[in-house]
Amino acid sequence: MNLISKKICMTKDIGIHNNLFGGILMEWIDEAAAAFATEYCHTPNMVTLRVGEILFKKPVKVGNHIRIYGEVLSLGNTSINLMLEVRKYNLYSGEEAVVCTTNTTFVRIDDDGTPTPIGETVRKLHNERMKAVAAEKTIV
């Protein structure tokens, strides 16, 4: 998975149970995923189409360092499907613990908001990346 964003949980992000608000984490995930999708697809014209089930596995506290990882699951004609994983990062040990997972889909749109095909250059790059990943898995 690719590291796509980092955050630090601040007091302003905390709810009444002294944990990070789920809605704040969802905002961080959407922002990181959007940046990843637009960069991957070489266009700023990507919008969130769907966010899958979000599983909150561990609480996040003030001062926790958060890392958001993303991976392309598939590239459609007009859309990209991503798997996302949020992890707490321990500065002292370097260990990470998964706090949240989800999948999300973004769609490329034109100026009128109509879905439009992802470019051929992006498709070629994606296919090359997938071949490299498959070859790497065969070597191991």
**Contact at 8 Å (CB) between 34 and 118?**
no
- CA pseudo-torsion sign 52, 89, 39, 137: negative
Which pTM value belongs to this model?
Answer: 0.90
The residues of the chain scoring below 70 in pLDDT are 140
**Contact at 8 Å (CB) between 59 and 53?**
no
Across the chain, what does the average pLDDT equal? Answer: 94
List pLDDT tens digits, range 97-137.
999 999 999 999 999 999 999 999 999 998 898 888 888 87
Domains and CATH numbers, the chain: 2-139 (3.10.129.10)
